[in-house]
Amino acid sequence: MKIEIKQSQVQKSKSQLGFTLTEIMLVVVIIGILAALVIPRIAGSSERARITATYTDINGGLKTAIGNYEVDMGSYPKNLQDLIQQPGNASHWHGPYLDKMPIDQWEMPYIYYYPGKHNPTSYDLLSAGPDKKEGTEDDLGNWMTK
């Protein structure tokens, strides 16, 4: 018994193994649409998380360190370096109050003013925010609420 396979049957089988250009294009379009919807949400969440972490630094650990310095010394530090290294005239200094100079979520140093511009009876502590420029609307400070 002899089985004969026609050339047209073999070619038809091979063409059925792959995807058509239309099918591939459709998948690429669907992936593009999904990416356009998902990526902005993820990027926005990341920036919100950085802002929240910066407010936590300002109103948490840094505020505590500055407060501890004020309790020991009777006044707020003149600069953030005083929290790490004992000032020359500091007889009641019990620091260091911080291990290292603090930086914000955008890897910039926090900005400190004593007396404060917004808190004239105490201090201002701020981050220049995502644009890394002080005095713009994205600044984050201890006088602001989230």
Asked if 90 and 81 touch (Cβ cutoff 8 Å), the reply is no
| Least confident piece of the model among 2-6, 12-16, 30-34, 68-72 | 12-16
Q: Which domain holds residue 32?
A: 24-141
Q: State the alpha helices, DSSP H only, in 4-102.
A: 7-17, 21-59, 61-73
Domain count, the chain: 1
Tell me the C-alpha to C-alpha distance, in Å, between residue 68 and each of 71, 72, 92, 125, 135.
Answer: 5, 6, 11, 15, 28
Asked if 95 and 84 touch (Cβ cutoff 8 Å), the reply is yes
pLDDT (average), residues 25-36: 83
> Would 14 be classed as within a structural domain?
no
> Would 29 be classed as within a structural domain?
yes
The band of 9, judged by pLDDT with boundaries at 50, 70 and 90, is low
**Tens of pLDDT along 40-82?**
666 667 888 898 899 999 988 999 999 999 999 999 999 999 9
**CATH assignment at residue 56:** 3.30.700.10
> Would 8 be classed as within a structural domain?
no
Asked if 81 and 66 touch (Cβ cutoff 8 Å), the reply is no
pTM exceeding the 0.75 threshold for the entire prediction = no
